Structure 1
Amino acid sequence: MIELRSVTKTYRTGSVSATVLQDLSLEIKEGDFLAIIGTSGAGKSTLLNLIGLLDLPSKGSVWVEGQNVSTLPEKAYGLLRRERIGFVFQDFKLVRDMTALENVEIPLAYSGTHNKKQRRERALEVLRDVGLEGKADRYPDELSGGQKQRVAIARAIANRPRLLIADEPTGNLDADTTKEVLALLQQMHQSGMAVVIVTHDPFVAGHARDVWELGDGKLALRK
């Protein structure tokens, strides 16, 4: 599905350069459930940006379904990202003055493939899938942390992505709510999505099928 081939990512500020990822390779296949674990500053966010097609490597290549992303115009790989990948973030990134339903409708509106009625029906469907159909008209400030993350997951899967990327999805949640969100991510995996969790928490990583540890700019398989 997505393959990183010998990627290196270097950031430059004036004459100073810092290499965050070094000659790193990773393949994400259909049905995978991966966790990428590492300490703060290990480069997890940089790696996430490459996997999620939010950035390009300094060296090496990123391939999606047999296409080298770096050879595509920005609009084309932006379309791949929008249609193939859903994102869930630690801080939810919900729009505060929009209801749960309206937040979930956002990617559907951008896709241009749904009219207003279809957007509402699909948004209600995915809210029901995450157990929040009854909260559709609530605003983010009226929801608990766990409920906000469920809305964020609903939004991420609204366009039926093939890959769900969760960046520290339980970082702002208590232990019980963490378990609920992890169960929901496992449910998404069982429905056919590939799932990648980026985390610093071994407990969270332990719910994945394979765990990769990021350190010194390189990945090593832990199990």
Structure 2
Amino acid sequence: MAESIIKMEGGVIRQQKNTILKNVNIDIASGEFVYLIGKVGSGKSSFLKTLYAELPLEYGKAEVAGFQLKKIKKSQVPLLRRKCGIVFQDFKLLIDRNVYENLEFVLKATGWKNKKAIKERIETVLTKVGMSDKQTKMPHQLSGGEQQRIVLARALLNAPPLILADEPTGNIDPETSYQLVELLKEICDTGKTIIIATHQYDLIEKFPGRVFCCEHGELYEKTPAKACECTDEVLPLPPVEEIIPDPSSEAGMIETQNTEEVPEDTTTVNRETETVAATEVTSQTTDLTETPEQTEAETEDKKTAEDSAEDIMTLIGKLDYPEITAFDYELDHLPEIKPEDQEVAAQETSTTTEVQEELPEKKEKQNLPPALDVELID
């Protein structure tokens, strides 16, 4: 039997003083293909972060790739992560350098110094994921599926025995996700341990493996391995029962039982009915006593009220526009000018125009220079 690469007993996973998972007992052997499923916020990512020491294990015992998580030191965390290839959902590629430089940066950061060995290793992992012709491409020049393959190649650089994929198919289409998981399955067949956190439950049927479910603060194995029942699917509504009318009844409808309760004090009810009847009779009598003159007066009052309302609305509408002012509105309501007044106004305007024509002549005469006296000059 293969040795255990992940083993946890009584583990309690917490994040910011909030308990995410409790009483976690899990044992995963080397070379296993494992799915981690559950609703959003159920603790899948927190569990993976605990495995590569991103979150500390406060309670319980856990061993990952030979490292005790409870006793691990900060100086040992990089050594643990070299044995854990991590595939992120959002890629986390360096956008200011090409594919080759991205992978070269990781190798140099983990202690590689020989340029020839670095080049051979990069070509090996890119060939394994089918991206050997993309070395000089920038991340923005690649599709989502191609970027995810580059991220997988980056995870394989140091030949880790354990690969943790956190929602690797979240940002790619279903067909590309099948190709990616098929590639992960091939890598698993070489003896690597693969753990995939996913919401794409059809992968479980296409590429079978062990299934662990995060639900209600617990982590347990699904046996037999199948999709989790805690999906986010909307349940169908129950069928509505049709009511068939009873042909024996007169109107073809189902008779309803009389569920009205008899009031205790019948006298008050009788008084209320009497008052209602009296008011109805008085209203009818008042309607009958109305004369045609009163109705005509009421209609005229309504018309005047409507006209005044229209005048107010037109005034408000004109004031809303800057080109029409209140002064323009007042001009519309000036008294009408009679024909006699129009003639007087025309005469006044003609006289004013004549005066205005004479004024320039006077001004020109005033502006002329004084005449010279010839006799005085002689």
State whether TM-score is above 0.5: yes
CA 178–65 in structure 1, closer or farther in 2 if over 3 Å, else same: closer
Match for residue 7 of structure 1?
11
Question: Is contact 2:13–2:50 with CA below 8 Å preserved after alignment?
Answer: no
Q: TM-score, normalized by length of structure 1?
A: 0.92
Query: Which consecutive residues of structure 2, in runs of 5 or more, have no partner in the other structure?
Result: 226-378
SS of the aligned residue for 1:169 comes to coil
Per-residue CA distance 1:25-56 (angstroms, 9 max, x = gap): 11221101100001001011110111223222
Match for residue 137 of structure 1?
136
Separation in structure 1 between the aligned mates of residue 135 and residue 93 of structure 2, nearest angstrom: 13
Question: Is contact 1:50–1:62 with CA below 8 Å preserved after alignment?
Answer: no
Greater mean alpha carbon deviation, residues 199-208 or residues 98-107: 199-208
Match for residue 103 of structure 1?
102
Separation in structure 2 between the aligned mates of residue 208 and residue 51 of structure 1, nearest angstrom: 23
SS of the aligned residue for 1:133 comes to coil
Separation in structure 2 between the aligned mates of residue 86 and residue 176 of structure 1, nearest angstrom: 24
**CA-CA distance at 1:98 after TM superposition:** 1.5
Match for residue 310 of structure 2?
none
Code of the aligned partner of 2:90 = D
Alignment of 1:1-223 (within 5 A): 1-12=5-16, 17-82=17-82, 84-206=83-205, 207-222=207-222, 223=225
Code of the aligned partner of 2:141 = E
Question: Is contact 1:106–1:155 with CA below 8 Å preserved after alignment?
Answer: no
**CA-CA distance at 1:67 after TM superposition:** 4.2
Code of the aligned partner of 2:70 = S
Larger RCO, structures 1/2 (Cα 8 Å, 6+ apart):
1
- 1 or 2, which has the higher helix percentage? 2
Question: Is contact 2:14–2:21 with CA below 8 Å preserved after alignment?
Answer: yes
CA 143–153 in structure 1, closer or farther in 2 if over 3 Å, else same: same
Separation in structure 2 between the aligned mates of residue 146 and residue 66 of structure 1, nearest angstrom: 33
Per-residue CA distance 1:133-172 (angstroms, 9 max, x = gap): 1111101101111110110000000100000111000000
Question: Is contact 1:4–1:51 with CA below 8 Å preserved after alignment?
Answer: no
Per-residue CA distance 1:51-77 (angstroms, 9 max, x = gap): 223222221122134542322321113
Give the RMSD, CA atoms, in angstroms. 1.5
Separation in structure 2 between the aligned mates of residue 146 and residue 196 of structure 1, nearest angstrom: 19
Question: Is contact 2:7–2:64 with CA below 8 Å preserved after alignment?
Answer: yes
Question: Is contact 1:61–1:69 with CA below 8 Å preserved after alignment?
Answer: yes
CA 6–75 in structure 1, closer or farther in 2 if over 3 Å, else same: same
Separation in structure 1 between the aligned mates of residue 181 and residue 158 of structure 2, nearest angstrom: 21
Alignment identity in percent?
Answer: 34
- 1 or 2, which has the higher strand percentage? 1
Larger radius of gyration: 2
Q: TM-score, normalized by length of structure 2?
A: 0.55
